[in-house]
Amino acid sequence: MNMEFRSLYIILLFFLYGADVYAQDTPYWYSLKTGSKASLRGLAAVSEKVCWASGSEGTVLRTVDGGQNWQDVSVPGMSALQFRDIQAFGPDTALILSAGLPAIICRTTNGGQIWDTVFYSVQEGLFFDAFDFWNQDRGIAFSDAPKDQLYLIETMDGGKNWTPLPPENLPRVLPKQGGFAASGTCLKTFGPGKVIIGLGGAEATVLVSEDYGRSWYHTVAPLDQGEPSKGIFSFDFINEKGFCVGGDYQGDSLTRFSIAKTTDGGKRWTAVKASGIFGEYRSCIAYIDEQRLVATSRNGCSYSKNGGRSWQSLSGSFYTVSVGKDGAVWASGPEGKVGILSFR
């Protein structure tokens, strides 16, 4: 083979197979040492350098150097709380949400040096599961139903102030039905004014609003349901396409349907039966980009490189996963565990 022909041959191989070679890279979790033993269910990836995590015993952690060093920026006097969700807008500004009573949201604008309590309630029956933001100003949070309606609060000023939504705007739920504060992702904002909430118990309920929570429509996802430990644990979307995951957290790998997809913003759902994730309980799912997704749980993870059509098992034990704006993928879990998704 002469040199000219060989060069053309190599170029042809690159165009034909270059993308596949990249896609066949093997994903793995690169473990980081946080110095914490907390259960980290809240996670907010900002970039490959900046990430925040929160969890049990009032723990809040922050790194600005890619996880080489972690700062304990926990709120003084709140070690009895579980901050199961966290939202971050950079290396300095973040908000944390507690599960259980007292129901508390704290906010910092200086990297966790000082926290302001911006929401506080001891109302009986409140148990916040998650919160999310459409932008740096407008956000929404939801609690399990104190009676027969979910409890929702909203902010218009970046979390400085929170206001309960009027009772006439609150969606009704089934008796003893609630969300899962497992990863901070059973509520998700997406698109202009859209927000989706997933519940469990008697039904894997999906509640969708297209007007910032002023009105809601109800549907059901084909996930394992019918018992308090079963239902929807997490959503993620790219435009109108999305996935929900869950199953039975007590059954772990013995669960039945654990993932479903939608192409119309959550109005209709179809069960995904692909090996590598079917029947596997998952507590969180996230898009890396339009083709790649990762789902995590305490007993294993799953990875897709083709938009969720097929999945491969990925070793690791993480409650939640979060993707930064630059595509960096972080995960956190029990015993202070944090990892970054890498490829070999």
Residue 109 has pLDDT above 60, yes or no: yes
Q: What is the pLDDT of residues 185-243, one digit of tens each?
A: 999 999 999 999 999 999 999 999 999 999 999 999 999 999 999 999 999 999 999 99
Residue 285 has pLDDT above 70, yes or no: yes
Which residues, at least 6 apart from 337, have a Cβ–Cβ distance to it below 8 Å? 31, 34, 40, 317, 318
The mean per-residue pLDDT over the stretch 111-116 comes to 98
Domains of the chain: 34-343 (2.130.10.10)
| Type of residue numbered 188 | K
The structure tokens 């809240």 sit at: 42
- The predicted pLDDT at position 254 comes to 67
- The predicted pLDDT at position 253 comes to 61
- The predicted pLDDT at position 25 comes to 80
- Which of 37, 146, 144 lies closest to 99, judged by CA? 144
The mean per-residue pLDDT over the stretch 158-162 comes to 98
Instruction: Name all contacts of 206-210 with Cβ < 8 Å and 24+ positions apart.
Output: 206/232, 206/244, 206/266, 206/269, 207/150, 207/171, 208/265, 208/266, 208/267, 210/265
Residue 85 backbone class (left: φ over 0; alpha: ψ -120 to 50; beta: rest)? beta
Structure tokens at 43: 């996670």
Which residues, at least 6 apart from 47, have a Cβ–Cβ distance to it below 8 Å? 324, 325, 326, 328
Q: b/e for 22-36, b at 16 or more Cβ within 10 A?
A: eeeeebbbeebebeb
Strands in 90-177 per DSSP E: 94-99, 103-108, 116-121, 128-133, 139-143, 151-155, 163-164
Q: What is the pLDDT of residues 36-87, one digit of tens each?
A: 999 999 999 999 999 999 999 999 999 999 999 999 999 999 999 999 999 9
The mean per-residue pLDDT over the stretch 122-141 comes to 97
The mean per-residue pLDDT over the stretch 160-188 comes to 96
Task: State the Cα–Cα distance between residues 281 and 29, nearest whole angstrom.
Answer: 19
Task: State the Cα–Cα distance between residues 90 and 259, nearest whole angstrom.
Answer: 31
- The predicted pLDDT at position 317 comes to 96
Higher pLDDT, 161 or 299: 161
- The predicted pLDDT at position 251 comes to 78
The mean per-residue pLDDT over the stretch 8-25 comes to 43
The mean per-residue pLDDT over the stretch 134-146 comes to 97
Q: What is the pLDDT of residues 288-303, one digit of tens each?
A: 999 999 999 999 999 9
- The predicted pLDDT at position 266 comes to 96
Residue 20 has pLDDT above 70, yes or no: no
Residue 159 has pLDDT above 60, yes or no: yes
Higher pLDDT, 197 or 7: 197
- Paired strand residues for 54: 42, 60
CA geometry: angle 190, 192, 197, nearest 5 deg: 40
Residue 119 has pLDDT above 90, yes or no: yes
- The predicted pLDDT at position 256 comes to 84
